[in-house]
Structure 1
Amino acid sequence: MGEEFRPRSIQERIAALNQSHINNESAPKKTPPLPARPSALRTVPVPGGPMNVSHDVTVAGNSATSPTLNRDGTSPQTLPVQQNHDTQTNAQKQPPPLPRRKSTQPAPALPPRQPSTQSRPQPERKASLESIASSASGMTTTTSTSGTSGSVGTKNVIRAPAWGETELPPLPPSSKRSPPSLPRRPSGINSSTVAEQPRPTPKPPPPATGAATARPSKPALPARTPSYTSNGSTETRRVPPQLPARRPSSHQPAQSPGEQDATTGVVRSVSRRLPPVVSPNEISKIRQSSLSVLSKHAEEPEAPVTNGHSNQSAQPEPPPVPLASRPDLSAIQATKPKFQPSASQTSNAMCLKCRDFSGPDNHAAQFPRTSLPTHDLGWLAQQLTAPFPSLTDKARAIFTWLHHNIRYDVDAFFNNKVKPSTPAQTMQTGLAVCEGYAGLFATLAAHAGLDAHVIGGHGKGYGYTQLPPGASLPAFESNHAWNVVRIDGGQWKLIDCCWGAGAVENKGQPTFIHRFDPEQFTQTNDEFLLKHYPERIDQFYTDDGRPKWAWEEYILHNPDRPFGVEPPTIFNVAHEEGISRHTVRPVGKQVSINQPGPMRFQFGLICEHWSVTLHGKKSAPYLFLLHTHGVDGRKDEMIPFTHVRGTAPNGGGDWWYVDIADPRILGAPGQKLGVAFLTQLGQRTDGRGLSVEEFRANFGRVNMAWSYVLQWELVA
């Protein structure tokens, strides 16, 4: 560039002004060319007062910089400089040549910089239009103000300090608290292997071209320890104290090399350790002890650590746990109700006829509907079924509870006022028809974890009559509902809760008889289907695996006459003694005295597993007698039955029989032939366990009492 600008003194400026007046008077007025502008200029923004107007003042002697932006990010606007009339007149005259600055003359020193605690722009100074205009009128350097040139004084020249030539003032102490102590270092890491990541050193900017190249080299900035936080305050980072080395532990998982702690930001260099080699003996011990862990270091106690330092002082061992006060699990379980199946149930769990349901039945009777604290069906299902692990017992408890707490709505059924109801409504009112029974059972079973469904179809219940011979076959009609539930062994069991709760009798004035019928739960599916025909083909669940029964076969079959004839009369006491109506012979109600002999009369118990003593809870079976009337009905006689013990493991499956060589001794036509058991013989008021020899020795000599269980009619 050309000659370097040198500021002039006041005397030189006055002399230059006088010379210019003299030249203007003598010489013709001629506009001289403007001197060349120095290439190295620095523009400094001058605050512009309320309008935020800034001046671009040219500063010589420093490297060029870009203009400064306003606070809102816009470019600073230039303000026209007010000049007087004399200055405008002298601008048309040729100014005197500027003296040259020596190349070796150093730049004037800058004033000391005001201390600052922030790296943000300096706060605004006083910036009024009057002060800007008065300052601009006394300057001699050229000013770029919207195309108008002016003069700038030397004392208003602003020089920015070169980078790296000054030191920042010390920052005030931090007002924040000291950082919290570091967390406890995991065992197995040596403090010598932990190193803090070095802080990168800031690099100086590249050297400026032009006049700045002649300056001496700038010294490097010292390392700055304080760091600025987001709010402008300083915070000095403290190096945490080194933790003592811990004893290596085989149970401490090894960290990967170079892993950085998320809490402290410290990079840890941990060497990976291989697990110890397991000997063949230890492998065999592990296989034998299953879940036990064998390690020779497992029993070594680790030194306790407090605040990052190991506590070497001996700590007292905790007292041993008193075993006497430890709760006994067996004693707790003994207080809960347990209903374990008997040996006979274990031998044949699928036979429900001989299964002892006294546990579920007695438990279900303890939850009357009117005394429940809540009508929540889920709570009730859990209370009824929780003590029983067997699915069959769970279903039986719900079946029995419906018998005790839900009554058949006779008024709604016979007056055509039956409306669809929900299980909650049935629970609230305690009244239901067959659909309400089935829906409530399915809901309670679902809450108890059972798989149960409602089946609709035809039922041979109240009002059913057998079709007369030659009558037309009626169409299918759905008039009943029942359930199917999955019990033990995955078996699907058909049950009827409505008929199990009681029966409707008295055709003139129907009345619900509250009578428990366990056969609606225990009978086989084939026996159940004699009175139930589902509307869907996949809901038969037959025992023999047949896909379905034909509608004609079902509707023409009379369930009260399984063998096609009217069966003999069976009294209720027979069910109490475990006698099954399917085992009674002869199967017909009428017995001819003129048929050839011999003739056998027999009966047996409910099933081959049922025992009078085990399932019937009786001390011994009764002595059964066949009461005949002799030839022409003129001589009554009591013939004892032969008792055949069952071959089941617990004595179940007993049966009784008697053979009559000549049927004419049974009596005359029209007389009744019955089977009775002795209830009293002489001084013996209990006839159980009475032998045939005792009966024959005292027959006709002492008083006797008996009760009938079966009865036939004698015909010619």
Structure 2
Amino acid sequence: MADVEEAKFNTLADRIAALNGQKNFTAPSPSAKRPPPPPPPGANRSPNPNPNPNGNGNGNGITRSQTTQSPNLPPRPQKQSLPPSLPRRANTTEAAAAAAEILALSRRDAPPPLPNRTSTQPSPALPTRRPSAQPLNSRRGSNSSEISHVSTISNLSLNPISSRTSTTSTETQPARRVLAPTLDQAKLPPLPPSRKEREAQAAKAAAERETTEVIKAPLLSTRSAPVVPQAGSRPGLAPRLPSRPTNSQVDENPSIAPRRLPPPPAAFVRPTTFESSRKPSAPGPRPSSDAPPPVPLSSRPTFSQIESVAVRTSTDCLLCRDFSAPDSVAAQYPAHSLPRHDPIGYLANVLCGPFSSATDKARAIFTWCHHNIAYNVEEFFGKCIKGRSVDETIFYGKAVCQGYAEVYQAIAQRAGLQCIVVVGHGKGYGYKPLAKGERPPPKDATGHAWNAVCIDNGEWKLLDACWGAGSVGEGKYTKHFTPYMFTLSNDLFGLSHYPSDDRYFFRNDGRVPSWEEYYIGPLNGEPAQVFGNLSEEGISKFNFSPMEKHIPVYSGEVVRFQFSKICEHWDPMRHGKGKSYLLLMKIQGLDGRKEDLVPLETDGFWWWVDIPARDLGAPGQTIFLYALTALNQKDARGVTKEEYYRTKTSGCYSMNWAVFLKWELV
């Protein structure tokens, strides 16, 4: 193709005029939109509607790829923020041509316009919903639309479909619109009556009932009508209620013989016992009149009330209560037969399950500790006590006081009893009574442990399972059952146990004794030495005289030896081993030259005898309290004082004794 020399122009206006004069070029009108720029070389993908068979370019030097135009796109909307274009000046042709050239050059690099968003085609219409044939079972309680209610219900719950159909597809099971039934076709349950309606019905029923009762009630006569109190008169007091209902019917006027007290000697001062450490208060001032005030007869109890209280006391008293059932159950479950996985739960079930009384449950655990746990004297005297768990202590079979208390607490709490471990001081092994006039040591409420358990009637009971199982002496342990460590009252229990916490005395009077009062005790010196178990014979080891170990010989007084039963209603035939033994005092005679056995008098509750101090013996000698156990090779239970003297005066007899108490003469 021959090169064509391009004409040279001096101004832009001459160039524009030359271009307008060409045949194949027509200047666009100012209002017409310029087509988009041609695509780059090598990217000619659009078909050419007017192909050139020669394969060369046009006469003006423009190739086919340059003349190919892309399809027209809708114009891009102009930004509203651009300022409006200025009107073209009509008196300047050259300026107009220059502006057109600048506009053409600026649009060459601009991107193609975007399609107009306002000219969007409408979306296809959705298919209409078919009405549902499933009726609603209940009417909604609000005024919401029925259609919205149906749309929130699963298609699966309204119309069960086959397992082959997808439950999530809305095309296979379209939702159906359900119309509400008419008002007369709906069957709604009646509404419950409101509160006002219920109150009105109750008032109406009460009025009808009162009217009916008044009509049917018989008329009262004048004699049976109650007396109307006069104005200003004082109303009478309500009748007194008994503390507890009587369970037995007793004769109103039985013949009850009063209990006789032992007669005091002529020149003898009765020693005081320490059943209660409270001192009597000073008497108040007497009234001006010498006559005593009248006895209120209305508050005097009847004989039936007194007898019922006596019967109740005999069943509630721990000293004479029959514990044969819990003691027999406790002996049936040795430690080697217990399961290894849960011995505490097993013992709580087998020991306490057969009994409904909390007292019997507590007693069964107390007796089981005696049969299955021994005191660990090896670790105690070797001062190498090891800490063990409750399960280990049960299967090991040995423990010190802390181990006894922890085992008892674990079983009791598992059985549903309230039980705690009390730590404090105990007058056990190593305790030495103070001599007369000796001062007590500083307070040290440690070294021992025991328990407090809640028994019948919500009463907190102090007990010592360690001392109840046996005793320690001379480096060895002696196993013997001591039941009074369970039956002893809290006041007497506190004579040998002092807790570190003042809340755990549990005394009947609520008083907290001092350390000096506890350590010295109620005696002014050492107590008399006790042998055997007096409680088995019904004799109290806490209520006898003289309680001091040493008895002066040259005091010139008559010494009374006096003993009592453990409780007023203790029966030797029902609670003991049979009839009571005859008690004898073994003395040394005047100046210790003649031994003798003096029997004691008794009235069924007290035993006593009065002996001059000079007849007891000489200083340095000892005297004893004996119990006649055998007479002429026969059991001596029930032998009276007269039978003893007849046998003794016969000249041919044999006797056996048991030692209960021992004193020393000074």
Q: TM-score, normalised by structure 2?
A: 0.54
Deviates more, 1:510-519 or 1:487-496: 487-496
Query: Structure 1 residue 168: deviation in Å?
Result: 5.8
Residue of structure 1 in register with 2:489 after alignment: 524
1:417 match: secondary structure: coil
**Cα distance in 2, alignment partners of residues 460 and 233 from structure 1:** 94
Are residues 467 and 676 of structure 1, via their aligned partners in 2, closer, same or farther at CA, if it must alter by over 3 Å? closer
Counterpart selection for 1:362 from 306, 328, 343: 328
Counterpart selection for 1:499 from 460, 464, 467: 467
2:421 match: secondary structure: strand
Query: Structure 1 residue 610: deviation in Å?
Result: 2.7
Query: Structure 1 residue 512: deviation in Å?
Result: 0.9
Query: Structure 1 residue 463: deviation in Å?
Result: 2.8
1:485 match: secondary structure: strand
1:442 is the counterpart of 2:409: yes
Query: Structure 1 residue 708: deviation in Å?
Result: 3.6
**Cα distance in 2, alignment partners of residues 35 and 696 from structure 1:** 162
Residue of structure 2 in register with 1:610 after alignment: 570
Q: Deviations over 1:21-60 (max 9, x none)?
A: xxxxx988645769999xxxxxxxxxxxxxxxxxxxxxxx
Residue of structure 1 in register with 2:627 after alignment: 676
1:582 is the counterpart of 2:515: no
Q: Deviations over 1:205-234 (max 9, x none)?
A: xxxxxxxxxxxxxxxxxxxxxxx9742433
AA paired with 2:580?
Answer: P
CA contact under 8 A between 2:562 and 2:608: conserved in structure 1? yes
1:367 match: secondary structure: coil
Q: TM-score, normalised by structure 1?
A: 0.50
2:384 match: secondary structure: coil
AA paired with 1:523?
Answer: L
**Cα distance in 2, alignment partners of residues 235 and 484 from structure 1:** 77
1:564 is the counterpart of 2:531: no
**Cα distance in 2, alignment partners of residues 400 and 416 from structure 1:** 28
AA paired with 1:505?
Answer: G
CA contact under 8 A between 2:529 and 2:662: conserved in structure 1? yes
CA contact under 8 A between 1:673 and 1:712: conserved in structure 2? yes
- Point out where structure 1 has 5 or more consecutive residues left out of the alignment: 1-25, 38-78, 93-135, 150-158, 201-227, 257-271, 286-341, 646-653
- Point out where structure 2 has 5 or more consecutive residues left out of the alignment: 1-21, 34-42, 53-57, 59-68, 77-109, 114-119, 149-165, 211-307
Are residues 360 and 678 of structure 1, via their aligned partners in 2, closer, same or farther at CA, if it must alter by over 3 Å? closer
**Cα distance in 2, alignment partners of residues 480 and 619 from structure 1:** 40
CA contact under 8 A between 1:678 and 1:704: conserved in structure 2? no
CA contact under 8 A between 2:436 and 2:526: conserved in structure 1? no
Q: Deviations over 1:160-214 (max 9, x none)?
A: 89977xx96999xx9xxx98x988x8xxx9x9x99996548xxxxxxxxxxxxxx
CA contact under 8 A between 2:436 and 2:524: conserved in structure 1? no
Query: Structure 1 residue 434: deviation in Å?
Result: 2.0
Q: Deviations over 1:106-155 (max 9, x none)?
A: xxxxxxxxxxxxxxxxxxxxxxxxxxxxxx99x9x987799889xxxxxx
1:545 is the counterpart of 2:539: no
**Cα distance in 1, alignment partners of residues 208 and 351 from structure 2:** 49
Counterpart selection for 1:621 from 569, 577, 580: 580
Are residues 435 and 284 of structure 1, via their aligned partners in 2, closer, same or farther at CA, if it must alter by over 3 Å? farther
Query: Structure 1 residue 549: deviation in Å?
Result: 1.4
1:398 match: secondary structure: helix
1:707 is the counterpart of 2:645: no
**Cα distance in 2, alignment partners of residues 712 and 449 from structure 1:** 44
Alignment of 1:329-408 (within 5 A): 346-347=312-313, 351-374=317-340, 376=342, 377-408=344-375
Are residues 414 and 182 of structure 1, via their aligned partners in 2, closer, same or farther at CA, if it must alter by over 3 Å? farther
Q: Deviations over 1:229-253 (max 9, x none)?
A: 74243325687999x999999xx87
AA paired with 1:498?
Answer: C
**Cα distance in 2, alignment partners of residues 169 and 483 from structure 1:** 89
Query: Structure 1 residue 371: deviation in Å?
Result: 0.7
Are residues 663 and 253 of structure 1, via their aligned partners in 2, closer, same or farther at CA, if it must alter by over 3 Å? farther
1:581 match: secondary structure: strand
Alignment of 1:75-114 (within 5 A): 82-84=46-48, 86=50
Query: Structure 1 residue 413: deviation in Å?
Result: 1.6
Query: Structure 1 residue 426: deviation in Å?
Result: 1.7
Query: Structure 1 residue 411: deviation in Å?
Result: 1.2
AA paired with 1:277?
Answer: Q
Residue of structure 2 in register with 1:219 after alignment: none
1:370 match: secondary structure: helix
**Cα distance in 2, alignment partners of residues 587 and 82 from structure 1:** 135
Residue of structure 1 in register with 2:274 after alignment: none
Residue of structure 2 in register with 1:601 after alignment: 561
Counterpart selection for 2:172 from 217, 234, 237: 234
CA contact under 8 A between 2:409 and 2:421: conserved in structure 1? yes
> Does 1 or 2 have the higher relative contact order (CA < 8 Å, sep 6+)?
2
Q: Deviations over 1:56-101 (max 9, x none)?
A: xxxxxxxxxxxxxxxxxxxxxxx9982526399xxx9xxxxxxxxx
CA contact under 8 A between 2:435 and 2:526: conserved in structure 1? no
